């Protein structure tokens, strides 16, 4: 009880720190933290919300711009956006930022919400052998089948993977190959990769409105830094795995640091002076969110943990979360000198951490999938979240809100004061205890005596069962059989199914017969004796027969089933079937 | 996406000689999205995207197959996931990651030998992978090849000093009964593991100190661990049982309340709570709690042992008999169980079986004085002075070896008194350790006075037992040393201690086992 009240108090305090500015549960947004940005798109001092919406995941992919509570503009994207940043690309006045949307192998740059430039990733090195094979195909020196064999050989051995064209070709049915070769052979072979994450890096000044370079990570593990105006590649670095999340700090011309979380579960730290990662953090589970706070990096992992690392990869702390992480973002209020990490959790909460201390909790109506904190409209402390159901939540931080820089759950655990639920004993139990104390010897002897009797009775019954073959398994070694019986029907006619199985490993059983014994006044059977076919080991043989109940007095009896062997009087198996009472009236 | 797939074919039909071939979609283009959903544990969406992607690429997208296999494994379809991982390994035979996953699935299926082979293959592709070496080590543990396991785990430690590797290595040494090496491992774990990983550090330190027998230090660290994580069930149980050992029942109960809130159905917890009540002489509550523990874990011999003990104390001998014989069925090689059974049988007037049970106990026993003493008293009461003398001498021998090797120099006063009484009655025992330092002649006088009234003697059997059980504090030192020396097979000298203590140990082993489950 006290824990509940504690929580209630906690949330009421937390909710009083935020104003609920806007909540649209049907905004229909499917997006991630990487596809959200706040930007002063028109240079009018009013920040808009730019969202790369994945639509249904197939179609309806859109770049949406929100102003206030409504959509300002929508433009269709060709493919799913992987990331989106707002950056200043030149020094021209008015200083309006451009939006870069990464999608597939391209970056689409929008200025004033109009398409401005399309950057394509440089193509990767193509296997020279593959090139040879295709040029032979081009000159019709080899037929498609040979081409296929050669490409397959290449795929299994080559250091450089095959291009999409070859891989597609290998998927085709033989009759489609001819056309495919005809169609594609004139084109040069290209091998392309896709962008997996995008970030930005100030070019040469640390100012808020400095010109920024784009930093992109690709599927094959490369990181490129692009010139902001010409979109040429300024610098290339490579990673051991595909990057998934990225954080960039510093300036390109001075010194920078790129922290990249990769798909192999490691975090790599890249620096200006080396094309290879400088430091590596091996995590025990996959990173879901990566946020830099001051000089430290905060990582949320799939194992419901939050870790803090220095920028050299040294672990500082670990906090345990109550649910899996779904989204993370930095909350930065430079005017107040306040920084915290917002962590969206799968239990419909957003936790605010400062180092390892949980300083506040926000309850949300749905699971949050993306978080963005910053200036929206003219309000500095705005928290924007989208939910799994497609909702959009906008909250504004109250100017009076104060966060204690202290863990909100200290002190002894509340559970310490909860009474133990010790099972109660009744007076009867106590009386019986007293009785046992007085008569322990007699009780013990009586018990031992009864136990011996029970054992004797059990042994007798067992011997009897063995002697009369009443067990469900036959005891004979030559005919190991198993039988069970099922009665179906309400009466007066019943269906009796006998399942017989030969449990021997390889030997079939032959020459068996079944006979029934029953009260002929009560029941009648069409055939009370029949032969069983040869029993193959392991198979189950259901044998059906029909029984008619003759009495309408609601009485029932036992039907005995004997499995017999030809030329032997003692049955192999006996089953007693307790017939149910016939519920229907016998037809006259 | 579907239109993408059909795009080439459609254009084929319409214009047979197009100048420009259609752009072919890149196979890996949705990998990031699959990954994004996978790590957010949104498996339903993830599976839908994978299905679409596999349809588009006709199963050639390696990463989609890989994640599908991972999800299947999480759903418990290990065999299917193994097949998918194998097809990943065919798509990309150069990746050690695929092989690692194949091996992991084999491991989960219990095919440890096959897993070792695949891991070795993966190790050829990637020499310096901590994970491969570590998992190889774990596989070797399951195939009982401890030497290779040790080798691989040490290799893993050279590559990366991970907490899990230390735990497994320590566990191997404990399994082999090599306590000293285990201590070394934990010691180096304490030194190397970064100061920030406090929980692990504490676990290691606690194990380390407990193995050394420094319970006080271990206790301090448990306290530290509890301040960092006050709801840690394992730490609470361990700390509580230590407090209990020192007779601090109320504080222990406070701790147990926290534990009972978070894990209300833990058999060791209810066992310890029960023994707390027993220590506070609330026998009915003790029986209630122990019975709950027994209900939750019917095949735990320690709970049955304690139930037997409490019922003996309550003079419910018939019930005690049942619990003890159940415990013996589960653990047939424990001398104390036979001794308690013999006590119960004595009180149930079944002298023949009591004697047999004592004989079994003596045969199995190594260092427990009480077994011999109780047997001697029983024999004396039965009138078999000769046999009683033999048992008494056996006890003397044990006392002397314990004193000589300095294992134990303090004995429980009740035990001493009982032994003196019996010694006087048998006209033996003058050369016993405790009779040497001129222990006042009063006791011998008293024993001589008790001799004629032999009717008191049968009571004595119980008294010695009961008193020994209740006087916990006097034994703490002896218990610590013996327990420290043999952590794997606890054979301590006093019932209460053992009844409380094994749970502490079992708790530690439980920790170990849980660690290894995380590994799996």
Residue B42 has pLDDT above 90, yes or no: no
- A vs B: CB pairs below 8 A: 160
Q: Is residue A496 within a helix (H) or strand (E), and if so which, with residue range?
A: strand A493-502
- What integer pLDDT is reported at residue A467 of this predicted model? 75
- pLDDT (tens digit, 9 = 90+) per residue, A32-84? 889 999 998 888 888 999 999 988 877 888 899 998 888 888 988 888 899 99
Percent above pLDDT 70 for chain B: 70
Neighboring chain A residues of B104 at a CB cutoff of 8 Å: none
Question: Which of A165, A183, A440 comes nearest B347 by C-beta?
Answer: A440
- What integer pLDDT is reported at residue B215 of this predicted model? 65
Give the β-pairing of A106-111 and A114-120.
antiparallel
Strand order in the sheet with A279-282: A233-238, A222-226, A212-218, A195-202, A243-251, A255-262, A266-271, A279-282
User: SS3 of A582, please?
Assistant: coil
Asked whether A193 and A218 are in contact (CB, 8 A), the reply is: yes
Sites in chain A below the pLDDT cut of 70: 1-15, 158, 405-416, 469-470, 475, 584-588
Closest by Cα among A84, A161, A68 to A394: A68
- What integer pLDDT is reported at residue B514 of this predicted model? 25
User: SS3 of B308, please?
Assistant: helix
Closest by Cα among B37, B2, B347 to A445: B347
Nearest-angstrom CA–CA distance, A146 and A142? 6
Nearest-angstrom CA–CA distance, A346 and A367? 6
Q: Is the dihedral of CA B61, B65, B66, B67 positive or negative?
A: positive
- What integer pLDDT is reported at residue B430 of this predicted model? 59
Neighboring chain A residues of B275 at a CB cutoff of 8 Å: none
Closest by Cα among A95, A107, A87 to A197: A107
Angle at A552 between CA A549 and CA A557, to 5 degrees: 50
- What integer pLDDT is reported at residue A415 of this predicted model? 62
- pLDDT (tens digit, 9 = 90+) per residue, B235-255? 777 778 778 777 788 888 888
Question: Which of A164, A416, A440 comes nearest B318 by C-beta?
Answer: A440
For B122, counting Cβ atoms within 10 Å of its Cβ (0-12 exposed, 13-18 middle, 19+ buried), the class is buried
Asked whether B447 and B460 are in contact (CB, 8 A), the reply is: no
Across the interface, do B32 and A415 touch by the CB < 8 Å criterion?
A: no
- What integer pLDDT is reported at residue A225 of this predicted model? 92
Contacts of B116 (CB under 8 A, 6+ apart): B103, B136, B139, B140, B143
- What integer pLDDT is reported at residue B505 of this predicted model? 27
- pLDDT (tens digit, 9 = 90+) per residue, A82-110? 999 999 888 887 888 899 999 888 999 99
Contacts of B385 (CB under 8 A, 6+ apart): B379, B426
Across the interface, do B40 and A326 touch by the CB < 8 Å criterion?
A: yes
- What integer pLDDT is reported at residue B495 of this predicted model? 31
Return the structure tokens found at A149.
């064999």
User: SS3 of A524, please?
Assistant: strand
List A215's β-bridge partners, or say none. Answer: A199, A225
- DSSP for A287-335, please give it: EEEEEEETTEEEEEETTTEEEEE-TTS-EEEEEE-SS-EEEEEEEEETT
Nearest-angstrom CA–CA distance, A37 and A39? 6
* Segments in B78-197 forming alpha helices (H): 78-91, 96-108, 112-125, 130-142, 146-159, 163-175, 179-192
- pLDDT (tens digit, 9 = 90+) per residue, A278-327? 888 888 788 999 998 888 899 999 888 899 988 888 888 888 888 999 99
- What integer pLDDT is reported at residue B457 of this predicted model? 29
Minimum Cα–Cα distance from A420: chain B residue: B257
Across the interface, do B318 and A437 touch by the CB < 8 Å criterion?
A: no
Residue B234 vs residues A507, B480, B484: alpha-carbon distances, Å: 56, 20, 20
Nearest-angstrom CA–CA distance, A181 and A172? 11
- Span B76-90, average pLDDT: 86
Question: Which of A192, A288, A416 comes nearest B254 by C-beta?
Answer: A416
pLDDT grade, residue B439 (50/70/90)? very low
Residue B509 has pLDDT above 80, yes or no: no
- What integer pLDDT is reported at residue A468 of this predicted model? 72
- What integer pLDDT is reported at residue B493 of this predicted model? 27
Helices B112-125 and B130-142: angle between axes, nearest 10 degrees: 160
Percent above pLDDT 90 for chain B: 4
User: Phi/psi of residue A347, each to 5°?
Assistant: -95, 30
Across the interface, do A264 and B97 touch by the CB < 8 Å criterion?
A: yes
Across the interface, do A264 and B315 touch by the CB < 8 Å criterion?
A: no
Across the interface, do B314 and A437 touch by the CB < 8 Å criterion?
A: yes
Neighboring chain A residues of B27 at a CB cutoff of 8 Å: 164, 167
List b or e across B159-186, with b for residues whose CB sees 16 or more CB atoms inside 10 angstroms.
bebbbbbbbbbbbbbbeeeebebbbebb
Pick the range with the lowest mean pLDDT from A485-489, A522-526, B278-282, B417-421: B417-421
User: Phi/psi of residue A504, each to 5°?
Assistant: -65, 160
Nearest-angstrom CA–CA distance, A144 and A166? 11
Across the interface, do A183 and B349 touch by the CB < 8 Å criterion?
A: no
Closest by Cα among B211, B170, B166, B206 to B189: B166
Asked whether B281 and B506 are in contact (CB, 8 A), the reply is: no
DSSP, res A199: E
Closest by Cα among B149, B95, B142, B144 to B118: B95
Across the interface, do B39 and A286 touch by the CB < 8 Å criterion?
A: yes
- pLDDT (tens digit, 9 = 90+) per residue, B343-366? 899 888 888 999 999 998 888 887
Give the β-pairing of A392-397 and A481-488.
unpaired
Asked whether B54 and B65 are in contact (CB, 8 A), the reply is: yes
- Report residue B371 CA to chain centroid gap: 26
- pLDDT (tens digit, 9 = 90+) per residue, A416-450? 677 777 878 888 988 988 998 888 899 999 999 99
- What integer pLDDT is reported at residue B211 of this predicted model? 60
- What integer pLDDT is reported at residue B201 of this predicted model? 57
- What integer pLDDT is reported at residue A329 of this predicted model? 92
List b or e across B450-486, with b for residues whose CB sees 16 or more CB atoms inside 10 angstroms.
beeeeeebbebbbbbbbebbebbebbeebbbebbbee
Contacts of B298 (CB under 8 A, 6+ apart): none
- Span B411-428, average pLDDT: 78
Neighboring chain A residues of B264 at a CB cutoff of 8 Å: 421
User: Most A CBs within 10 Å: which of B8, B40, B253, as the mutation test of the A interface?
Assistant: B40
DSSP, res A415: G
Nearest-angstrom CA–CA distance, A306 and A290? 10
Closest by Cα among B341, B295, B293 to B317: B341
Minimum Cα–Cα distance from B161: chain A residue: A282
Neighboring chain A residues of B350 at a CB cutoff of 8 Å: 444
Return the structure tokens found at A349.
């909460």
Neighboring chain B residues of A418 at a CB cutoff of 8 Å: 257, 261
Question: Which of B26, B57, B260 comes nearest A193 by C-beta?
Answer: B26
Across the interface, do B39 and A302 touch by the CB < 8 Å criterion?
A: yes
Residue B488 has pLDDT above 70, yes or no: no
Nearest-angstrom CA–CA distance, A401 and A83? 32
Question: Which of A80, A318, A420 comes nearest B33 by C-beta?
Answer: A80
Asked whether A428 and A64 are in contact (CB, 8 A), the reply is: no
């Amino acid at each position: 009880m006290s824990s509940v009240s504690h929580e209630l108090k906690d949330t009421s305090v937390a909710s009083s720190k935020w104003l609920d500015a806007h909540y649209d549960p049907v905004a229909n947004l499917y997006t991630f933290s990487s596809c959200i940005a706040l930007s002063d798109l028109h240079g009018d001092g009013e920040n808009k919300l730019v969202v790369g919406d994945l639509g249904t995941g197939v179609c309806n992919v859109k770049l949406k711009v929100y102003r206030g509570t409504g959509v300002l503009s929508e433009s269709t994207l060709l493919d799913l956006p992987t990331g989106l940043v707002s950056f200043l690309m030149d020094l021209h006045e008015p200083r309006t930022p451009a939006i870069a949307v990464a999608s597939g192998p391209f970056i689409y740059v929008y200025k004033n919400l109009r398409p401005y430039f399309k950057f394509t990733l440089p193509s990767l090195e193509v296997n020279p052998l593959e090139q040879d094979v295709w040029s032979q195909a081009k000159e019709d020196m080899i037929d498609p089948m040979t081409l296929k064999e050669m490409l397959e050989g290449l795929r299994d051995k080559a250091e450089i993977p095959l291009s999409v064209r070859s891989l597609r070709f290998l998927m085709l049915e033989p009759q489609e190959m001819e056309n495919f070769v005809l169609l594609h052979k004139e084109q040069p072979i290209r091998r392309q990769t896709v962008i997996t994450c995008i970030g930005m890096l100030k070019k040469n000044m640390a100012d808020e409105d400095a010109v920024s370079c784009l930093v992109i990570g690709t599927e094959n593990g490369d990181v490129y830094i692009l010139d902001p105006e010409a979109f040429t590649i300024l610098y290339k670095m490579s990673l051991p795995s595909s990057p998934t999340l990225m954080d960039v700090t510093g300036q390109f011309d001075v010194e920078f640091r790129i922290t990249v979380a990769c798909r192999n579960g490691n975090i790599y730290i890249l620096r200006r002076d080396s094309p290879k990662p400088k430091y590596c953090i091996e995590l025990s589970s996959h990173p879901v969110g990566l946020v830099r706070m001051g000089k430290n990096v905060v990582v949320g992992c799939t194992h419901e943990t939050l870790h803090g690392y220095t920028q050299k990869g040294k672990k500082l702390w670990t906090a345990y979360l109550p649910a899996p992480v779904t989204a993370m973002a930095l909350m930065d209020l430079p005017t107040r000198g306040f920084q915290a990490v917002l962590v969206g959790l799968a239990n419909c909460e957003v936790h605010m951490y400062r180092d390892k201390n949980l300083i506040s909790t926000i309850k949300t109506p749905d699971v949050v999938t993306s978080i963005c904190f910053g200036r929206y409209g003219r309000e500095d402390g705005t928290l924007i979240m989208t939910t799994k159901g497609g909702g959009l939540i906008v909250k504004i931080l109250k100017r009076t809100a104060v966060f204690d820089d202290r863990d909100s759950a200290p002190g002894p655990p509340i559970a310490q004061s909860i009474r133990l639920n010790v099972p109660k004993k009744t007076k009867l139990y106590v009386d019986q205890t007293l009785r046992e104390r007085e008569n322990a010897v007699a009780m013990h002897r009586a018990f031992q005596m009864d136990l011996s009797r029970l054992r004797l009775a059990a042994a007798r019954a067992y011997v009897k069962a063995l002697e009369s073959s009443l067990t469900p398994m036959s005891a004979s070694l030559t005919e190991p059989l198993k039988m069970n019986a099922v009665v179906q029907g309400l009466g007066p006619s019943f269906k009796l199914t006998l399942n017989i199985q030969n449990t021997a490993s390889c030997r079939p059983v032959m020459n068996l017969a079944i006979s029934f014994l029953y009260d002929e006044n009560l029941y009648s059977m069409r055939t009370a004796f029949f032969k069983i076919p040869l029993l193959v080991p392991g198979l189950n043989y259901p044998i059906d027969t029909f029984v008619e109940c003759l009495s309408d007095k609601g009485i029932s009896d036992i039907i005995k089933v004997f499995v017999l062997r030809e030329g032997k009087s003692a049955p192999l198996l006996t089953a007693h079937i307790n017939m149910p009472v016939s519920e229907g009236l016998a037809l006259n | 996406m579907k239109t993408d797939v059909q795009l080439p074919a459609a254009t084929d039909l319409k214009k047979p000689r197009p100048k420009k071939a259609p752009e072919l979609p890149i196979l890996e283009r949705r990998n990031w999205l699959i990954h994004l959903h996978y790590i957010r544990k949104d498996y339903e969406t993830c599976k839908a995207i994978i299905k679409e992607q596999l349809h588009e690429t006709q199963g050639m997208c390696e990463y989609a197959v890989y994640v599908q296999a991972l999800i299947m494994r999480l759903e418990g379809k290990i065999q299917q996931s193994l097949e998918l991982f194998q097809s990943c390994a065919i798509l990309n035979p150069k990746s050690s990651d695929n092989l690692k996953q194949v091996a992991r699935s084999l491991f989960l299926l219990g095919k440890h030998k096959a897993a070792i082979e695949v891991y070795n293959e993966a190790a050829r592709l990637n020499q310096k992978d901590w994970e491969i070496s570590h998992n190889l080590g774990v596989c070797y543990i399951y195939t009982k090849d401890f030497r290779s396991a040790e080798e691989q785990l040490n290799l893993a430690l050279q590559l990366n000093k991970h907490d899990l590797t230390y735990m497994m290595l320590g566990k191997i040494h404990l399994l082999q009964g090599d306590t000293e090496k285990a201590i070394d491992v934990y010691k180096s774990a304490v030194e190397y593991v970064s100061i920030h990983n406090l929980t692990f550090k504490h676990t290691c330190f606690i194990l380390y100190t407990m193995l050394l027998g420094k319970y006080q230090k271990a206790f301090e660290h448990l306290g530290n661990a509890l301040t960092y994580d006050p709801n840690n069930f394992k730490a609470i149980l361990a700390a509580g049982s230590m407090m209990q050992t020192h007779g601090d029942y109320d504080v222990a109960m406070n701790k147990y309340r926290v534990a009972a809130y978070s894990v209300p159905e833990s058999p060791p917890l209810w066992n310890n709570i029960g023994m707390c009540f027993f220590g506070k002489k609330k026998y009915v509550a003790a029986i209630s709690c122990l019975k709950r523990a027994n209900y939750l874990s019917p095949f735990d011999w320690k709970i049955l042992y304690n139930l037997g003990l409490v019922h003996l104390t309550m003079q419910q001998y018939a019930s005690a008999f049942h619990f003890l014989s159940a415990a013996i069925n589960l653990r047939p090689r424990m001398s104390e169980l036979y001794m308690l059974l013999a006590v119960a049988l004595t009180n149930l007037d079944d002298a023949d079986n009591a004697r047999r049970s004592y004989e079994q106990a003596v045969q199995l026993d190594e260092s427990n004085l009480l077994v011999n003493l109780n047997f001697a008293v029983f024999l004396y009461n039965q009138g078999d002075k000769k046999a009683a003398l033999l048992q008494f001498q056996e006890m003397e021998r044990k006392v002397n070896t314990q004193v000589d090797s300095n294992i134990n120099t303090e004995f429980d006063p009740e035990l001493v008194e009982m032994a003196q009484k019996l010694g006087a009655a048998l006209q033996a025992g003058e050369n016993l350790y405790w009779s040497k330092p001129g222990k006042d002649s009063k006791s011998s006088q008293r024993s001589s006075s008790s001799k004629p009234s032999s009717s008191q003697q049968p009571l004595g059997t119980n008294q010695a037992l009961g008193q020994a059980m209740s006087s916990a504090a006097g034994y703490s030192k002896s218990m610590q040393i013996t327990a420290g020396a043999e952590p794997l097979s606890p054979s301590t000298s006093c019932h209460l201690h053992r009844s409380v203590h094994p749970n502490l140990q079992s708790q530690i082993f439980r920790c170990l086992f849980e660690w290894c489950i995380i590994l799996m």
